[in-house]
Amino acid sequence: MDIKMADVMIHVDETLSGSRQQELVDSMRQQKGVVAVGHHEEKSHLMVVEYNPDETDSTHLLSALKAEGVHAELIGL
């Protein structure tokens, strides 16, 4: 069985504390279709989300992140 995968990079405008960054990562991991979320503490403005495009899309993921109270935009890969 082949699973489609797509990646998107999301830029968060706010400067995040380590704990707030982890909260957002955890929230993204719970989104339907998300396979993995990558982030780096030193580059807290960036988040890479790997997802199954048959189950979700980048605009939904961006909306879910914005619903957490941050300002963000898609960068793409």
Supply the CATH number for residue 56's domain.
3.30.70.100
Q: Using alpha carbons only, give the angle 43, 67, 40 rounded to the nearest 5 degrees.
A: 15
Q: Is residue 62, in this structure, part of any structural domain at all?
A: yes
Q: For the residues 4-20, what does the mean pLDDT come to?
A: 91
pLDDT digits (tens, 9 = 90+) for 27-76: 999 999 999 999 877 788 899 999 999 999 999 999 999 999 999 999 96
Task: Classify residue 1: in a domain, yes or no.
Answer: no
Look up the domain containing 11 and give its range. Answer: 6-74
Q: What's the whole-model pTM score?
A: 0.88
Instruction: Give 1's pLDDT tier (boundaries 50, 70, 90).
Output: low
User: How many separate domains does the chain show?
Assistant: 1
Q: How do beta strands 72-74 and 46-51 pair?
A: unpaired
Query: What's the pLDDT score for residue 43?
Result: 80
Nearest to 35 by CA among 22, 48, 21: 48
